[in-house]
Structure 1
Amino acid sequence: MDFLLYLYPISLAIISVFVFLLEWKWPWRPNQKQLRPRLWSDLLHLVFNGHFLGVILYGLGTALILPSFDNFLKASNLYDVAHRDLAASWPTWVQILIALFVTDFVHWCVHNLLHRVPFLWHFHKTHHSVADGEMDWIVAFRFQWTEVAVYKAIQYLPLAYFGFGYEAVMFHAIFGTLIGHLNHSNLNIDYGPLRYLLNNPRMHIWHHNYDATGRTTVNFG
Structure 2
Amino acid sequence: MTPPLIRPLWALCTASCLAACSTAPPPAADKSIPAYLLAATGCAIVAGGDIGSRFSDKQVTALWSKINAAVTTELHQRLVHQKYKALALLVPVERTRQAEDLVFEQAALRRCNRVLQVSHVVAEDTSGKYFRFDVALFRAQPKQDAAATDAGITVVAIGEFQRSYRYARTQESFDNFYTGTFADQVLADLTAAGALVPLR
Q: Please report the TM-score for the alignment, with normalisation by the length of structure 2.
A: 0.32
Q: Please report the TM-score for the alignment, with normalisation by the length of structure 1.
A: 0.30
- The structure with the largest strand share of the pair is 2
Q: Which of 1 and 2 has greater Rg?
A: 1
